[in-house]
Structure 1
Amino acid sequence: MKETCKSIYRICRDHANLNQDEAAEKLDVHTHTLSNYELGKNVPPDEVILRMAKIYGTPWLPLLHLKENTLIGREIFPNIEVTNLPEAFLKFQAEISDIHPLESEMRKVILDNRIDEHEIETSETFIKEVMEGIMSGWSLIFSAIEKRPLLEQRSQVFTLGR
């Protein structure tokens, strides 16, 4: 497990102003078990991660957990980071502005509902820029959520699917 992973659970618990005993009780795990998660001795199961996110008011924790603990997470979410809000916003704007010049070319590519051999480079460039925009969008979302008051965070319904 990476060094940074050893502390993401602790950082989130601290964010919620809970000591280990309080958090363990709310999470329905033993204090020793929680300590092992925070020290990186064990990886928490998905159910515990989802409870942590809800109880700690840190909806971005599951993605950080996936990014730090799974190859798939590292591949899908390589550049998601929680940063200061102005920096996250400016990065998002910059990434989105990189997409705009490509829109006209991409419209021509997708008009016939397929991507031909000579259109692959255009589509790959467009997809790369859209992915960068999506990653910076996630960073902006998580940075904004982190800056809200704790009670508002806890009432937020946050899902990645459906």
Structure 2
Amino acid sequence: MQDETRNIYKTCRKAAGLTQEAAAERLGISVESLRAYETGQRVPPDEVVEAMSDLYNTLHLIVRHVREKNAMYSRVVPEVPKMDVLAASARLTNRIFEFAENHSANRLMRIAEDNVIDSNERVEFDAIMEDLQEIVSAALALRCAQSEQEA
């Protein structure tokens, strides 16, 4: 996983069918800079990653870049798996249905109604939060898949 993360810029460029030279030219950066980003010697600035995302047609690149660059972001935003629109749609729908079937929203409201999460409620609250993180992850995966399919 670490090698895949470190080389996400290279992986996305190759998936877009571009050479380092062609990509660097279109991004307005030097081949040496692109090579440094792709080998993990340097971290590209956000504006370069945004341009890469547009050029390579992959919103997922931005998500991965920000998660790796910012530890606080990683603590809040869940991992976003790369998947196609159909799989991402199914995953999101299944997570929402599971949340509803488990009456998690009702349980969350019972816990929150006194505006205190006491020690007796903490385990259940944390489990509900994990379920919500799964829904957020699935929604972001669908957003990334949809944007990549449109181009």
State the TM-score bracket (shorter-chain normalisation).
Answer: 0.7 to 0.9
Show the counterpart of 2:146: 144
Deviations 1:68-126 (A, max 9, x none): 45544554455311113322222212222222121112222222333333332332221
Q: Equivalents in 1 of 2:30, 2:84: separation in Å?
A: 34
> Runs of at least 4 residues of structure 1 off by over 6 A?
none
Show the counterpart of 1:154: none
Q: Equivalents in 2 of 1:123, 1:23: separation in Å?
A: 47
Q: How does 1:38-57 map to 2 (within 5 A)?
A: 38-57=38-57
Q: SS state of the match for residue 4, structure 1?
A: helix
One-letter code aligned to 2:144: F
User: Against the structure 1 CA distance between its residues 126 and 78, is the aligned structure 2 distance closer, same or farther, given a 3 Å change threshold?
Assistant: closer
Between 1:64-73 and 1:87-96, the stretch displaced more is 64-73
Q: How does 1:59-74 map to 2 (within 5 A)?
A: 59-72=59-72, 74=74
* TM-score using structure 2 length: 0.79
* TM-score using structure 1 length: 0.75
Q: How does 1:14-25 map to 2 (within 5 A)?
A: 14-25=14-25
1:115 matched to 2:117? The reply is yes
**Identical residues among aligned pairs (%):** 26
Q: Equivalents in 2 of 1:32, 1:46: separation in Å?
A: 18
Task: Name the Cα RMSD after superposition.
Answer: 2.5
1:8 matched to 2:2? The reply is no
Q: Equivalents in 1 of 2:92, 2:76: separation in Å?
A: 18
Show the counterpart of 2:132: 130
How far off is 1:29 after superposition?
1.2
Q: Equivalents in 2 of 1:20, 1:8: separation in Å?
A: 14
Task: Give the aligned length.
Answer: 149
One-letter code aligned to 2:128: F
* Structure 2 gaps, min length 5: none
Q: How does 1:73-92 map to 2 (within 5 A)?
A: 74-92=74-92
One-letter code aligned to 1:103: A
* Structure 1 gaps, min length 5: 151-162
